[in-house]
Amino acid sequence: MYRMPIGFRPVTADGSSENIAVTSTSQQSAAMPTGCNLVRICLTNASADAFVEFGTNPTVTATTGMKIINSAAEYLRINSGEKIAVIGTDGDLNITPITL
């Protein structure tokens, strides 16, 4: 069984997160900061599922992206400098960069 480590620490000094408005076109986050190797993402205030894609210049569609559901936090590996693209109907994607 895989066990998720606890005690994650945000990379940013103030622990800030980024919120991206989810729309019907692909939207990109800012690049993840140096030292980031994990990200917490959470879709909020959405009436439907959304889709995400990671990369240096990602563009996501509903057929190529990873599906995320409203109000469920996901912890995913990411590299410093990568961005997250999101597409959906509505809501916000909350992104918190983390270092272990």
Phi and psi at residue 33, to the nearest 5°: -70, 165
Task: Tell me the pTM.
Answer: 0.86
Mean pLDDT of 64-69: 94
| CA-based radius of gyration for the chain | 13
Distances (CA, A) of 75 to 29, 42, 80, 90: 16, 9, 15, 21
The tens digit of pLDDT for each residue in 38-49 reads 999 999 999 999
Paired tokens of 67: 């599906």
| pLDDT, average across residues 69-78 | 93
What pLDDT does 4 receive? 55
Ranges of beta strands (E only) in the chain are 9-10, 18-21, 27-28, 38-44, 50-55, 66-68, 73-77, 83-87, 92-99
Q: Are 16 and 97 in contact, with CB atoms under 8 Å apart?
A: no
Fold of 10-99: Jelly Rolls (2.60.120)
Q: What's the pLDDT score for residue 1? A: 47
Where along the chain do its domains lie?
A: 10-99
State the pLDDT at residue 5.
54
